Amino acid sequence: MSESTETSSDEGDEQRISVRRLVPIKGLTSRQVVQAVRDTLNGQPVQAISVVLVDDATIASLHERYMGDPRPTDVLTFDLRDTADEAVLAGQTRIEGEIIASVDTARTQANRLGIALHTELLRYVIHGVLHLLGLNDDTRAGRTQMRRAENRILAGLSDKAPKRKQPQQTKRKEQHAQRRISGGV
């Protein structure tokens, strides 16, 4: 089991964002996760946010315990504030929560889509923060709104990332695209 933690704070506003890795993962730094959280928060004040990267067995156990579903899922979000939803949506309270994301599920999905594992994991983290900000994906319109926000934030993160060619990912994308064209998806 691998574990690393990073705490971040901004000038004038004590923001605590911690990242714990309970599963080893290459290609994703704690700083990238913290940046994704910050970009998603867009200035919203934070009490504390914990991001935990786990395996499918761990998230399945939590999913069953808190949601009654024994299957693994991509991400679970726990809002730890004692404040009414109206105050949260109005931005009158500091964000406090925990986001638990499955590295195994992200790996499976990233391989299926032909994208980088870190991109899929960051999507899960962003999705969790959006829930803490009051967005919901219970309806088709809500899912569309969340997906657009995720895509916008991910695009902004990749604009900030150092540019370097990743031939393995490019090859996977080309193979995936070829399968789609030939009808083999």
Going along 55-138, which residue ranges are E strands? 75-79, 95-102
3-62: per-residue pLDDT in tens? 554 444 444 344 699 999 999 888 899 999 999 999 999 988 899 999 999 999 999 999
Short-list 22, 30, 10, CA closest to 118: 30
Crossing angle between the packed helical segments 117-132 and 30-41, to the nearest 10 degrees? 40
Short-list 1, 19, 16, CA closest to 101: 19
Query: 157 with 150: CB under 8 angstroms?
Result: no
* pLDDT given at position 70: 95
139-170: per-residue pLDDT in tens? 999 999 999 999 999 999 877 665 444 555 55
Q: Spell out the domains of the chain, with CATH numbers in brackets.
A: 17-182 (3.40.390.30)
The overall average pLDDT reported for the chain is 83
